[in-house]
Structures are given as C-alpha cells and as structure tokens.
Amino acid sequence: MGIYFINDRGRLRNIVKIGDGKMNQAFNPDALTSIEILNSHGYLAYIVGGAIRDYFLNCSCVDYDITTNASLDEICEVFKDYKPKIYANNKCVGIKINETHLEISAFKGNTIEEDLYNRDFSINSIAYNPRDGFVDPYNGINDIKNKIIKTINNPVEVIRIDPLRILRALRFSAIYDMKIDDELEKKLIELKDLLNLVHPMRFEHEIDPIFLSNRCSYYISKYKEIFKVLFKPLIECDGFNQHSKWHIYDVFNHILKVVDSTSNNLVLRLAAFFHDIKKPECFKPDLDGEGHFPNHYLKSANYAKEILEYYSYNHRIVERVYHLVLYHEARLELDDKMLLEFLVQFGKEDIDLFFELQKADIMGQNPELLFRLDKYKLIEERLIYFINNYNLVTYNKLAIKKNDLILKGYSEAGARRKLILLATKITKNELVNDRKELLKII
C-alpha cells in the first residue's frame, strides 16, 4: 500500500493506492458493480461513508453508499433496469443489485474532494473506487487509527447543517470507543438545543447504539445536558435528593447505577433508564422527612410510552418497556399465592428481564440492601417452577373482560382484582376458562 499526493485542480489530494489487488474483494461485489456501471456510462463513482470507515475498523458492513458526478435523473437513467427510487428528500437514489441495497447520491460539490469536505466527520470523509484506491484528502484514515472524532469544517457550521450530528458523534464514540475532539465536544454541548429542530423519527437510530454500548451510563452522565434535551424529566432527576434510608444516590445517579447493572438488551436498558424518571414529580415526604414516591412507577411507565412513541419506536418495544417499568416496583415474597397472582398479571414474557431489572434496582440503592438479592434468587426459582409446571393464563386472556364485571356492579379496581383471582384459579386448574361458566361465577 502506498500513499500518493496529487495536485488536483489546485488541491492537495491524498490517494491511498492498493498494490496487491486484494482490496476489491474487501467490499461488496454488488457495490463495486454499481461503480462499474456508472463508469461505463462515463461517470465517476466512489464508495463513501460507513463502508469505508468500517473497513478500517474491521467491522462488518451492510449499508453501502455510492457517490457520483451524475445527477439524480442521470443515476435513474443509468439504473433504469434496477427499479430506481428517489427518496430521502430528493437526496439519493435507492437501487437493489442482487440482494444488496445501495444508496447512490450526486456529489455534494463538483469533485469528490468537495463532496468529502461537506460530510460530517473526517472518519466519514474517505472514498474508494478500484481505479483510485482510497481518496483521503482530510486524513480520515489517520483519525480512524488514532480513534478521534472531529470535523473537517468549523464544528458549528457542521452541526448547524444537521443538528442530529450531535448525537451521531456520541454514537460513533460509544460504539467505536473513540474520543471526541475537545473543540467539537464543547460545541456539541453548546448547541444541544438545536436537537429540538430535528424530526423525532430520526433519533432512534442514534440513541439505541448508545444505550446498547458497554459504557451507556458514562455517556448519559458525561453528556447529560444533551440527554436532558431528549428526555426533559432528567432535569429534575439531576441532583434530586430522595431523602430515603434506602437510597444513597440522587435520582439521576440511581438511574445510572441501575443502567450500569443491566446487560445490554435494548428493552431492558430503556426500562432501567425510565424506571424512576418521574420520581421527583411524585415526591411526598412524611412527617419525619422520609421521602416517598407514590405512583412513580405508573407515571414513569406512561412517560416512557409517550416519549418512545414520539420517537417512533417499534410498538412491541414500547409495550415491553412500559410493562417492565410499570411492574418494576413489585415487591415479591416467597408466598405461592402472591407469586401466582403476580404471574397472571405480568405474564411470562420478559420475566427474565423483570428479574434483572429488579436486581439492578437493588444494586442501585443502599448497599446495606444487597442481602435482598439472595431472596430474589429464591423467588425467581419459584416463579420459573410455576411457569414450567402450570398452564399460565393471564388475566387479560380470560374469556370475560373487565366491562363484564363492571356491568355486574364491580368497581374498576374490584373488577381487576376479581379477574386476577379468576385467572389464578384457572392457572391452578380449579376453574375452566369458559365465558358462560365465568359469568355464572361472577
């Protein structure tokens, strides 16, 4: 491999040449085919973006971006046999070659160097094609090797073009264990409120990898002013004294401790993050000044559901996170009746995540409470026994519904309680889940 510097139209151009002929095999052959097709029509074309970055990081890549000096209409004409589709606000053309989805865009500028200059970070400002090898005018390869995230242009201008780059810098730092350049980091925090201008549907792709990283709580803590823009209740959580003998941390740091104690499962991490987020709003001190937080689990669950739906998360993820947060405060004992009634309410899906969240919650409280972990191990074993040996029927799967009981004069709470008792008896084979029979009983 050799590095050549070529004066191209008055610019210093850094091209990394590959001399062993193996590089073409490193990239998806369908992506290279798209370059060949564009070349055959007289256009320049390069692989750019994540595929190049991931090559140097030795990561697998599934998304390939191609840039060319052809216009979008010309791209569509070249690939007319591949069912081209213009999308992303008329910024690129999507095609499929064999099983590979490709996004092809026109140069951002007149040359490949100008295109690369207009990208977000230097680590993403590298191009490749079989003829030129790697085009790296802004030393992106060195920045990848040195694990540094920085912009080519003024970071303020780069962020103002697309404020989502604030989160993107954190995402790259989290998943690639890279350091954010000091000047860029300063501007990410200063310009955090620009995130309010970003369409909420765009956040999930940037947020999830941070939550799934091995240092999730580190990023939430270090960049808490940014996360407070995304999740505004964190403002009240930060520094909020719980005034409780059960807690030695403020609400914000308790949340971080709980997140730290969970495995990197997205539903679990989100549940850990949201489980106490509405605690400050529910604070009620007693006469002795001891803090209590009635219904914080319900308000936290409702907020989790509301904000995740706002950010367009998958419905099943939202429901699972809501369910875990809603039940995270359940205090179980080694009592078969209590455990069966809990099971018919919670169900068996995500019961493993429920226990992990419960244990993580304990680990984020007063260390004097860690003895409770031994008890939860026994409770978990008992619940698993019930799941494996009973035909579990949850109360919302009964042949009668809450309104059937309300019509018979039950209150809302009474109807729910009755359904739980009926579901427990059906699970124990003491009753049959038959509508006529259950209506007779009530």
Kindly report the CATH number assigned to the domain that includes residue 62. 3.30.460.10
Dihedral angle over CA of 208, 198, 50, 121, nearest 10: -120
- The answer to whether residue 108 sits within a structural domain is yes
pLDDT in the model for residue 13? 41
Both 236 and 129 in a single domain?
A: no
Residue 316 CB coordination number (10 Å): 9
Residue 405's domain comprises 395-441
Both 372 and 321 in a single domain?
A: yes
- The answer to whether residue 155 sits within a structural domain is no
What mean pLDDT do residues 239-248 have?
A: 91
Last residue of a domain, one of 389, 406, 421: 389
pLDDT in the model for residue 298? 97
Both 269 and 371 in a single domain?
A: yes
- The answer to whether residue 201 sits within a structural domain is no
Last residue of a domain, one of 80, 114, 146: 146
Distance CA 275, CA 53 (A): 36
CB 96 within 8 Å of CB 64: no
The pLDDT tens digits of the residues spanning 303-357 come to 999 999 999 999 999 999 999 999 999 989 999 999 999 999 999 999 999 999 9
- The answer to whether residue 370 sits within a structural domain is yes
pLDDT in the model for residue 397? 92
Pick from 252, 254, 250: nearest CA to 228 = 252
Both 55 and 83 in a single domain?
A: yes
The pLDDT tens digits of the residues spanning 352-382 come to 999 999 999 999 987 877 777 888 889 999 9
Mean pLDDT over the full length of the chain: 91
CB 400 within 8 Å of CB 439: yes
CB 390 within 8 Å of CB 427: yes
The pLDDT tens digits of the residues spanning 397-424 come to 999 999 999 998 999 999 999 999 999 9
pLDDT in the model for residue 21? 37
Both 385 and 411 in a single domain?
A: no
- The answer to whether residue 153 sits within a structural domain is no
pLDDT in the model for residue 19? 34
Distance CA 63, CA 28 (A): 10
Both 134 and 278 in a single domain?
A: no
Both 286 and 414 in a single domain?
A: no
Both 430 and 374 in a single domain?
A: no
Last residue of a domain, one of 81, 111, 146: 146
- The answer to whether residue 405 sits within a structural domain is yes
What mean pLDDT do residues 128-155 have?
A: 96
Distance CA 159, CA 151 (A): 9
